[in-house]
Amino acid sequence: MAKQFSINQIPATGSEAIFLWKQFMKSIGWTVTRSGDTFSFSGSGDVITHGGIGAGGMNNTFAWFVLQAPTGTKQLQLQRNVTSLEWNVSYSFSAGFTGGAAAARASATDQKTINNGGGVGTPTLFTTDGTYRLHMMADDASPYGFYSVGIPCGGGLPTHIWMMDPMLESVSGDADPLVFYGDGGTSATNILGAYNAVAYGPLGNNTLSSVPPQAWRNKGGGSETFGPITGAFPFAYPFGTRTSLAGAYAHGNHLSGKRMTFPLFWCVPTSFGTYPGFKGTSSLLRVLLNPLATGSTLDFSSSKDRIVVGACTLPWNGTDPRV
């Protein structure tokens, strides 16, 4: 059991990107439980067979599908909005999505919105068609984390991220140790951050974009809440002086000369309301301690096993990504 990859694709549209992601996830054990292509509907399978328009097309306005994890419980629903750049993404922890029609998505009693969670603006997930390379990773073993990231052709900060990040370490008793993140467009510094030696801010630090990462807090508790969460970057306190690790140790490993990464901590600031505090340590994202161009690779545990995406790195498959 291992991480699986599909890389270096240039989808013609956001709809094709989502279709490629759906097919990729199905290949490692996820299941489409219901779907609609705006012409037909299935309450038990996948009617979407290609990324274009017409019967079976993912690029039809309001085409949708529900994807279920190999665990048999957690479900994700994606629906094309008015354009192929805009997608409604929602999550059901355990109830499952039911109903739906050819052009009307299903619903779940416990459904929560992942993108556009604050209700601000349109749920943009992609940037201009044909301008980015799509890289995807999914773990074929529990807890089945995945990511989809878009890197501009020719280089530049990421313009798309869609991920389910299981916690490497989480608070005791967390019934749903996952963080979801779906964002896109041209404001790339709001997606996975940009390195800044003075004010380092992966994932916007505590100043989030209008589409922040989302997660359950106290799932199953008396006042469970689904809402925004942020990536936290620690400070060191040697000799009583607060020091940013990014500033103090940006020169990397003095023994090997290699650039260093640091765990990303998912946290709920007090300004976010209910149940502030530590959610867990990301199993996918690691923070880059000094700047590198997006699309660069790093040797972490093995050769080229991390790829740089803005201010963070993600698991990679050991090859050289094209730019």
For residue range 202-259, list pLDDT tens digits in order.
454 434 455 778 999 888 877 889 988 888 765 555 555 544 555 555 555 656 666 6
| pLDDT for res 278 | 86
- Same-domain pairing of 181 and 293: yes
pTM, full prediction? 0.90
* Mean pLDDT of the residues in the chain: 84
- Same-domain pairing of 87 and 158: no
Question: Tell me: the pLDDT tens digits for 91-120?
Answer: 999 999 999 999 999 999 999 999 864 444
| pLDDT for res 235 | 56
Residue located via tokens 């619903």:
107
In a domain, 41, yes or no: yes
Distance (Å, rounded) from C-alpha 10 to C-alpha 261? 29
Please give the structure tokens belonging to residue 137: 């990773």
In a domain, 131, yes or no: no
Give CB contacts under 8 A, 24+ apart, made by 173-177.
174/219, 174/279, 174/280, 175/216, 175/219, 175/220, 176/93, 176/215, 176/216, 176/219, 177/143, 177/279, 177/280
Indicate left, alpha or beta for 70 from its phi (over 0: left) and psi (-120 to 50: alpha): alpha
Domain that residue 245 falls in: 145-323
- Same-domain pairing of 313 and 164: yes
323 contacts 295 by C-beta, under 8 angstroms = yes
CB within 8 Å of 146: residues ≥ 6 apart: 25, 136, 137, 138, 139, 163, 164
| pLDDT for res 202 | 47
Residue 195 clears pLDDT 70, i.e. is over it: no
Question: Tell me: the pLDDT tens digits for 5-27?
Answer: 999 999 999 999 999 999 999 99
- Same-domain pairing of 71 and 198: no
- Same-domain pairing of 295 and 174: yes
Query: pLDDT > 90: what percent of the chain?
Result: 54
- Same-domain pairing of 103 and 153: no
In a domain, 46, yes or no: yes
310 contacts 192 by C-beta, under 8 angstroms = yes
Residue located via tokens 């997006």:
294
Distance (Å, rounded) from C-alpha 39 to C-alpha 319? 41
- Same-domain pairing of 188 and 285: yes
Task: Give the residue-averaged pLDDT of 282-292.
Answer: 84
Phi, psi of 225 (to 5 degrees): -140, 135
Q: How many domains does the chain have?
A: 2
Distance (Å, rounded) from C-alpha 66 to C-alpha 83? 19
- Full DSSP string of 238-284: GGG--EEHHHHSTT--TTT----EEEEEEEE-GGG-SS-EEEEEEEE
- Same-domain pairing of 170 and 89: no
Q: In this structure, what DSSP letter does residue 15 have?
A: H
Listed ranges 65-69, 172-176, 297-301; the one with the highest mean pLDDT? 65-69
Residue 148 clears pLDDT 70, i.e. is over it: yes
Distance (Å, rounded) from C-alpha 40 to C-alpha 68? 20
- Same-domain pairing of 162 and 280: yes
| pLDDT for res 197 | 38
Which comes out higher in pLDDT, residue 69 or 288? 69
Q: In this structure, what DSSP letter does residue 98 have?
A: B
- Same-domain pairing of 156 and 76: no
Give the domain-ending residue among 124, 156, 189. 124
- Same-domain pairing of 247 and 300: yes
pLDDT grade for 198, boundaries at 50, 70 and 90: very low
Least confident of 116-125, 150-159, 269-278: 116-125
| pLDDT for res 194 | 58
Task: Give the residue-averaged pLDDT of 110-138.
Answer: 83
- Same-domain pairing of 277 and 322: yes
| pLDDT for res 105 | 96
In a domain, 129, yes or no: no
